[in-house]
């Protein structure tokens, strides 16, 4: 059997693995304390794919889940020790040809403190309250794009005629 191509990324309390298999059938995902097993039949050729992963750290197999879509199977592995970063998915340091890091979803959360995240939330709320799309509803604009505000600006002085 061939291994399925997979991408993974780390979060504070979980690890995500996405098996990139289009049109998968007979999907089986097994979670063990230190292992994750995946198998399926893929595509119109009914190719059998199988992956066995010895995980870097222990997981809570009862809280781990998976979800199948038409394009992939996403596995959510709940860490047994939340807050501990995984430098790699596998126990062995060897490079696995079918596995890569999902940089689109990767986040360096180890250096983030809860206080900094609270500050970020406050900053986001402040930016939302400073104006944006909601304020555009209150702006009265003519069809030619000019607003109806007749107040004079400093740059509204009469320009001399061109010679």
Check which CATH number belongs to the domain holding 75 and give it.
2.60.40.790
Residue 121 has a pLDDT of 52
Could you tell me how many helices (H) and strands (E) the chain has, helices first? 2, 8
Residue 73 has a pLDDT of 96
Question: If the chain, 163 residues long, is cut into consecutive pieces of 10 residues, what is the mean pLDDT of each piece?
Answer: 94 95 94 96 92 97 94 95 93 94 81 47 51 45 50 68 76
Return the structure tokens found at 74.
């996403």
**Dist CA 16 CA 34 (whole Å):** 15
Structure-token match 């893929």, residue found: 42
Does 47 reside within a domain?
A: yes
Residue 119 has a pLDDT of 44
Given a contact cutoff of 8 angstroms between Cβ atoms, the answer to whether 73 and 57 are in contact is no
> What is the residue-wise DSSP string for 124-161?
HHHHHHT-SHHHHTT--B-TTS-BS--PPPTT-PPPPP
pLDDT digit string (tens) for 30-72? 999 999 999 999 988 899 999 999 999 999 999 999 999 989 9
Does 114 reside within a domain?
A: no
Does 148 reside within a domain?
A: no
Cα-based angle 103, 67, 52 (whole degrees, multiple of 5): 70
**Dist CA 73 CA 82 (whole Å):** 23
Residue 59 has a pLDDT of 97
Residue 1 has a pLDDT of 81
CA dist 108 to 29, 82, 87, Å? 27, 15, 11
Does 147 reside within a domain?
A: no
Does 19 reside within a domain?
A: yes
**Dist CA 140 CA 117 (whole Å):** 38
Tell me the pTM.
Answer: 0.67
Q: Which of 67, 73, 62 is nearest to 31 (CA)?
A: 62
Domains: count for the chain: 1
For the chain, how big is the Rg over CA atoms in Å?
27
Structural domain including 80 reads 6-84
Does 94 reside within a domain?
A: no
Does 144 reside within a domain?
A: no
Residue 129 has a pLDDT of 53
Does 16 reside within a domain?
A: yes
């Amino acid at each position: 059997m061939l291994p399925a191509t997979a991408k993974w990324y780390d979060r504070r309390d979980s690890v995500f693995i996405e098996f990139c298999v289009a049109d998968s059938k007979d999907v089986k995902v097994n979670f063990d304390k230190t292992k994750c097993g995946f198998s399926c039949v893929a595509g119109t050729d009914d190719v059998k794919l199988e992956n066995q992963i010895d995980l870097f750290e222990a997981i809570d197999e009862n809280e781990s889940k998976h979800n199948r879509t038409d394009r992939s199977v996403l596995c959510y592995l709940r860490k047994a020790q939340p807050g501990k970063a995984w430098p790699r998915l596998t126990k062995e340091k060897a490079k696995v040809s079918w596995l890569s890091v999902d940089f689109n979803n990767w986040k360096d959360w180890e250096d983030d403190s809860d206080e900094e995240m609270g500050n970020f939330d406050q900053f986001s709320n402040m930016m939302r309250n400073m104006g944006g799309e909601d304020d555009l509803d209150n702006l009265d604009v003519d069809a030619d794009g000019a607003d109806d505000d007749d107040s004079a600006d400093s740059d509204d002085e009469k320009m001399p005629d061109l010679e």
